[in-house]
């Protein structure tokens, strides 16, 4: 008998396996695909690898104004894809090495819960068997969502975020359906490489969860993309997308390929949820703040919960679940760790990138806060101007509670936003006030030292 059986080897699954193995627990991890899940194999890592190549290409094209001449700059899509695959495979091998170090048993196959403490495992080339355990962790992830748009399903000209990462030939024209994180990142990638990109988005602004002042900054920075906002897709015919604009007029976009980037949905079926009558919401498997599901001895972490479909959220959910599982198996009432949802940062890895954490100004006001906000153009940073020029788009915004000065949110668009946002998470987790942020010493010249300047602006409000 195993202490724990984990279904799914993505960020939540392998991180929990690692933490439990470090605690001396016997862990069986079952993964039907590749270790690393969506993030490593067909999500975060491959897209960022390709985006880095696109960034190098874009910088080379613009380098002359900074005193560097590069003749005959070109990109090689085939070599970019080969590098992407090399990165994925080496990192995948690294995860396998970590599992071995933690003494985790790996099975390549499918798993389904048969009942309390029982998981049926179908390993490739081996007879089906029942694995008994003391605890089960569900980490089955999510899959691309395909809405019922006429002409989308079964259309070889329509790809999802998984399919486009296996693209053999670089398209001249791409139509992206969806202006959320996934759609914006791919639109940025292909437009930076010279593809004619159009994005059709139902909402009136891209990345709808962004602060209302910051989203337009990002959109203006992505000025090679044709944005069709407030539009509804009616049908797809081959690679032609027909849509209705915000005035109600029928329009169409001719493309070589269509990317359906409408979003993802948790994988809540196919692994035996019904055998335990687990509670589900419209988003995913319901858990408490220790990641316990509704059935005794069952936990869930990662995208399958539907709470936060981000790899870094999955890591933390996994660590909380692992701590609670370990404590429960030790006969304690449960682990001391809790999942906190208020300071989970997000990032859009476009060129340039954007990031945020905590409440937007709109969310804070909706929750009853009397807000004080400060917004600073990144061109106020000497480093930003030196590296990007004086026409580049970028801004940082700090949201605080006027009464207490407590920092409620940090939002940014521009260079290094995704690398700096962890600091905002720390500010919010520690419930720091703008007055305390003003007392910090940040390195100069850096782009994101401007958050301190924003805190000084708040002093006068």
Cα–Cα distance for residue pair 380/388, rounded to 1 Å: 12
- Residue 360 CA from chain centroid, whole number: 18
Q: Smallest Cα–Cα separation from 113: which of 5, 35, 266, 265?
A: 5
Q: Are 317 and 154 in contact (CB under 8 A)?
A: no
Cα–Cα distance for residue pair 373/384, rounded to 1 Å: 22
**Active-site residue flag, 312:** no
What DSSP assignment string belongs to 168-235? -S--SEEEEE--SHHHHHHHHHHHHTT-EEEEEESSSSSSTTS-TTTHHHHHHH-TTSEEEET-EEEE
> What does the longest C-alpha to C-alpha distance in the chain come to?
71
Question: Cα dist. 295→4, 299, 305, 307 in Å?
Answer: 15, 8, 14, 19
Q: Smallest Cα–Cα separation from 410: which of 338, 344, 352, 318?
A: 344
Q: What is the CA radius of gyration of the chain?
A: 23
Catalytic residue among 59, 312, 411, 444: 444
Cβ neighbours of residue 154 under 8 Å, at least 6 residues apart?
A: none
Indicate which residues carry an active-site annotation: 444
């Amino acid at each position: 008998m195993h202490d724990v059986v984990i279904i799914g080897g993505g960020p939540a699954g392998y991180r929990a396996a690692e933490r439990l193995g470090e605690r001396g627990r016997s862990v069986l991890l079952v993964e039907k695909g590749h270790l690393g899940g969506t993030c490593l194999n067909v999500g975060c890592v491959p897209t960022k690898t390709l985006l880095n190549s696109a960034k190098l290409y874009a910088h080379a094209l613009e380098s002359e104004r900074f005193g560097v001449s590069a003749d005959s700059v070109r990109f090689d899509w085939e070599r970019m894809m080969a590098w992407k695959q090399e990165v994925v495979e080496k990192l995948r091998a690294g995860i396998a090495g970590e599992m071995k170090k933690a003494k985790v048993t790996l099975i390549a196959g499918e798993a389904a819960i048969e009942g309390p403490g029982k998981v049926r495992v179908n390993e490739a080339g081996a007879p089906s068997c029942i694995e008994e355990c003391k605890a089960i962790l569900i980490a089955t992830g999510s899959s691309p969502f395909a809405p019922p748009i006429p002409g989308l399903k079964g259309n070889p000209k329509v790809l999802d975020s998984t399919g486009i990462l296996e693209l053999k030939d670089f398209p001249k024209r791409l139509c992206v359906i969806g202006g959320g994180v996934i759609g914006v990142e791919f639109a940025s990638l292909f437009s930076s490489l010279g593809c004619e990109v159009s994005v059709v988005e139902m909402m009136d602004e891209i990345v709808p969860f962004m602060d209302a002042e910051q989203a337009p900054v990002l959109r203006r920075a992505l000025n090679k993309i044709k944005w069709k906002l407030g539009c509804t897709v009616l049908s797809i015919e081959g690679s032609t997308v027909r849509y209705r604009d915000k005035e109600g007029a029928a329009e169409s976009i001719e493309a070589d390929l269509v990317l359906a980037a409408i979003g993802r949905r948790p994988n809540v079926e196919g692994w035996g949820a019904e055998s335990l009558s687990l509670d589900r919401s419209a988003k995913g498997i319901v858990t408490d703040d220790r990641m316990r599901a509704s059935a005794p001895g069952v936990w869930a972490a990662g995208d399958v919960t539907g709470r936060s479909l981000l790899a870094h959220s999955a890591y933390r959910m996994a660590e909380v679940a692992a701590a609670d599982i370990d404590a429960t198996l030790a006969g304690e009432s449960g682990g001391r760790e809790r999942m906190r949802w208020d300071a989970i940062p997000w990032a859009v890895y476009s060129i340039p990138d954007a990031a945020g954490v905590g409440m937007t100004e709109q969310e804070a006001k909706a929750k009853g806060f009397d807000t004080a906000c400060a917004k600073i153009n990144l061109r106020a940073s000497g480093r930003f101007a030196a590296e990007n020029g004086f026409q580049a788009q970028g801004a940082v915004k700090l949201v605080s509670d006027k009464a207490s000065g407590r920092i409620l949110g940090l939002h940014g668009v521009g260079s290094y936003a995704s690398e700096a946002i962890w600091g905002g998470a720390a500010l919010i987790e520690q419930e720091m006030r703008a007055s305390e942020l003003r007392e910090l010493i940040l390195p100069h010249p850096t782009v994101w030292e401007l958050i301190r300047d924003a805190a000084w602006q708040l002093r006068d409000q």
